[in-house]
Amino acid sequence: MGKVKAKPGPLARRPDNSAFKQQRLPAWSPMLTANTVLPFFYFMALICMFLGVWLLLTVQSTQEMKLDYTDNGTCASCFEMRKNVSNAAEICNCGVEFTIDKSFKGNVFFYYGLKNFHQNLRRYMDSRDDRQMVGWKKNLKNPSSYCELFIRDPKGLPIAPCGAVANSKFNDSFRLTYHGTEGAEPVPLLRTGLTWYTDKNVKYRNPKTENMTLAQVFNGTAKPLYWREPVYKLDRSDPTNNGFINDDLIVWMREAAFPNFKKLYGVLNRANNPFTKGLPAGKYSINITYNFPVQYFRGRKEVVLTTLTWFGGQNHFLPIAYLVTSCLILLIAIVLTVAWCKFGKNGKNMEE
């Protein structure tokens, strides 16, 4: 006769009799007393206050100038022109002037900023074809359905790059001029090298040319509906900065998290005088090719000149957050200290 199997019972599922599975390993349970907790509170308040003051001093060492040009100066006429969609093909140039009282030392970064433009809407963010942007030839002529509404032009040609994100690309251009003692002098801006390494080498790539020019590669495709130039002519001054690896396009395709944002347009080239040490104090002017309309979403446009530190630009949120946290922790520590001294120091609070 064969062996009779024991019926499963409650003991059959019992864990092994080991120190780990029976939870008999040695452990340390701290005793939370006033003598251990209160010093920790004061220490954390001191650390947060130190970090807050340090970051605040770091942020204040940066220099920044913001200039709203939406409808200021000679740009008012361009603002009115862009209200009419039928005038979109017309070129409108305007200019603004400003003065820098204190020279900007070191590297100076030129940003454009938008207000009330929501790049964080889900349908807007999904309206793109990442396979097309990475250089897949199949998706170049057959874009993803995610690009719907911005997938083909009225003639039926596939759009490259497709989608709402690329179609709404910011297309104002700027020329900064310094008016010094020797007359007007253009301020040189580096217009490449504005993106991360992974952007130009992993996320965004042109289709393989195979001894063809970019114009031939993108033959049979159409430019986005609101663009003036096709993707292979975005930068006429630098042929290597065209197609899906154009710096301006890549910067725009990285969607902003908040409706008010700024994006990098250029970096001061400090190779020649008088800009070797930064932007000297004096009078400046910006010539603007005014293309991007903001009336439809009640937005504003601005340019931002700023220097940066290891912490970034002028952002006071984190320093203020550390200082507020420090004050709250310190307040709680004082309240607990008073309560301990009055009720719990001698253990008399448990007698009644």
**pLDDT (mean) for 83-110:** 88
Q: Which two tokens stand for residue 279?
A: 């932007």
**pLDDT (mean) for 315-332:** 95
125: three-class secondary structure by DSSP = helix
Q: What percent of the chain has pLDDT over 70?
A: 94
**pLDDT (mean) for 122-146:** 92
Q: Does residue 103 register a pLDDT over 80?
A: yes
Q: Does residue 346 register a pLDDT over 70?
A: no
Q: Which two tokens stand for residue 11?
A: 């003991």
- At residue 159, the pLDDT reads 95
DSSP conformation class of 208: P
Q: Domain residues for 167?
A: 61-317
**In the structure, what pLDDT confidence band is assigned to residue 137 with cuts at 50, 70 and 90?**
confident
132: three-class secondary structure by DSSP = helix
- At residue 6, the pLDDT reads 55
- Tell me how many domains the chain contains: 1
Task: Indicate whether 188 belongs to any domain.
Answer: yes
Which residues lie across from 190 on neighbouring strands?
267
**pLDDT (mean) for 64-87:** 88
Peptide bond into 161 cis (omega under 30): yes
Residues 75 and 235 sit within 8 Å (Cβ to Cβ): no
Using alpha carbons, list the distances in angstroms from residue 311 to 110, 289, 320. 17, 32, 14
Q: Does residue 310 register a pLDDT over 90?
A: no
The beta strand positions in the chain, using DSSP E, are: 64-68, 93-100, 104-105, 108-115, 173-180, 183-186, 189-190, 261-268, 278-279, 282-289, 300-307
**In the structure, what pLDDT confidence band is assigned to residue 289 with cuts at 50, 70 and 90?**
very high
Task: Indicate whether 160 belongs to any domain.
Answer: yes
Q: Which residue has the tokens 């140039």?
A: 93
- At residue 4, the pLDDT reads 55
Task: Indicate whether 109 belongs to any domain.
Answer: yes
List, in order, residues 6 or more apart from 248 with CB less than 8 Å away. 169, 170, 191, 194, 234, 235, 265
Task: Indicate whether 67 belongs to any domain.
Answer: yes
pLDDT digits 0-9 by tens, 181-193: 888 999 999 999 9
Q: Which residue has the tokens 């289709």?
A: 207
Q: Which two tokens stand for residue 164?
A: 């709402």
- In whole angstroms, what is the distance from residue 193 CA to residue 175 CA? 18
- At residue 351, the pLDDT reads 44
Task: Indicate whether 25 belongs to any domain.
Answer: no
- At residue 5, the pLDDT reads 57
pLDDT digits 0-9 by tens, 207-247: 987 788 888 999 999 999 889 899 999 988 888 899 999 99
Task: Indicate whether 204 belongs to any domain.
Answer: yes
- In whole angstroms, what is the distance from residue 242 CA to residue 233 CA? 6
List, in order, residues 6 or more apart from 98 with CB less than 8 Å away. 65, 67, 283, 284, 285, 286
Task: Indicate whether 221 belongs to any domain.
Answer: yes
Task: Indicate whether 35 belongs to any domain.
Answer: no
Q: Does residue 74 register a pLDDT over 80?
A: yes
Q: What is the largest CA-CA distance in the chain?
A: 113
- At residue 350, the pLDDT reads 43
208 versus 251: which is more confidently predicted? 251
- In whole angstroms, what is the distance from residue 89 CA to residue 100 CA? 35
